[in-house]
Homo-oligomer: A and B are copies of this chain.
Amino acid sequence: MPRPEKHVFVCTQNRPHGHPRGSCAASGCAEVMNEFMLEIQRRTLFEKIGLTNTGCMGPCGVGPSVLVYPEGVMYGKVGKADVKTIIEQHLLGGTPVEALKMPVEVW
């Protein structure tokens, strides 16, 4: 990808069923990653928004975790329906989505 204006990192860490830490995979990250891909494609935002899947970023219990740089804003419990909000309000509009931010003690 070319150097993007906003870079979205989606945790796609998986762990075995029943693992005490859980994982972003168990809480639905694949659907979130897919929705970002589809929306970026639909809106032709490839040059503006970068999208990368990652391993564990830490807050497994409040995932799926989505991190946006260069601001360093991390979102938790992100669902498929939140993706459009993040894209429109934050990535395009420039205003992070307060209601989805990780608790301060986590990030």
Contacts and interface: CB of A to CB of B under 8 A. Distances in A.
A7 B58 CA distance: 13
Q: Looking at A3, A7, A56, which has the most chain B CB atoms within 10 Å of its CB? A: A3
- Chain A interface helix/strand/loop/mixed: loop
Given A52-B57, A54-B9, A72 B70 contact: yes
A45 to B, nearest CB: 15
Contacts of A53: 54-55
A96 B74 CA distance: 24
A69 B1 contact: no
Given A52-B54, A55-B53, A55-B54, A72 B2 contact: no
A100 to B, nearest CB: 16
